Structure 1
Amino acid sequence: MDFLIEKISAVNDLILQGKGLEAFENYYHDNVVTQDNDDEVFAGKEINRKRKEAFFDAITEFRCAKPLKVAVGEKTTMVEWQFDFTHQDLGCKKFTQVAVQEWQDGKIIKEKFYYGL
């Protein structure tokens, strides 16, 4: 489990430095699958990279990203985040989100986000 603590800490540190795309490139598996709540599933690194790039590019004002809690289990990590930003399509958003990551081969193979907006 120490291995996963180190990995998720590195991911979180990059996000806090404004390097979310670098975290994605370094710590996400080529076959990564992501999902927001019970919405559509997105499979593969390329499509998820494009989604992340589009999301980050549309942030017009960034005020806060703060990890509140981190949990580590068998091949799984969870991070509760607090976010506060303005997005050109979504408007002003201040919310808490839980991200659950499943790991394979030292990289995130599946990530699901739970939040209410």
Structure 2
Amino acid sequence: MSYLEKEKELQTMVNTGQLMDAFEKFYAEDVVLVEPSGDKFVGKEEARKHEIEFLGKVEAFHSAGITKITSNEEEATTCAEVWMEVTFKGMDAPMKLEQVAVKQWEGDQVKHERFYFNA
């Protein structure tokens, strides 16, 4: 399976409400997640807590999609521009979130992911 195919499968899982299933399937034990703020979450356990914390803030998930997606197969790197519409707890209206995620893969696992978005 190509890295592009892996990224598409991962994004499809996230977009159908299976974020944590995708996380467990595709992320390495020594993964590093980097937020736009520079905050780093090192290791799968710390990264998992970060993802669960985000999900805990969501009241309702409405929709999601992929705007652009690409890969550099030789360098095991993928990039996806994605969006999701959610309602956060305590808010009345849905919010559309957009971000770009750049992933470095090793085999079938994401070793490093950096997010870019305008907070």
TM-score (norm 2): 0.88
Partner of 2:113: 111
> How many residues matched?
116
1: CA distance, partners of 2:61 / 2:29: 28
**Greater strand fraction, Structure 1 or Structure 2:** 1
> Deviation per CA, 1:26-57, whole angstroms, max 9, x where unpaired?
00010000011142111000011111112112
TM-score (norm 1): 0.89
State, as a whole percentage, how many aligned pairs show the same letter: 28
Task: Look up the SS of the partner of 1:8 in the other structure.
Answer: helix
What stretches of structure 1 move > 4 A for 4+ residues in a row? 89-92
Q: Which amino acid aligns with 1:85?
A: V
Q: More displaced, 16-25 or 79-88?
A: 79-88
Task: Provide structure 1 residue ranges, at least 5 long, that are not aligned to the other structure.
Answer: none
Partner of 1:70: 69
Task: Provide structure 2 residue ranges, at least 5 long, that are not aligned to the other structure.
Answer: none
Q: How does 1:1-117 map to 2 (within 5 A)?
A: 3-73=2-72, 74-88=75-89, 92-117=94-119
Q: CA RMSD in A?
A: 1.8
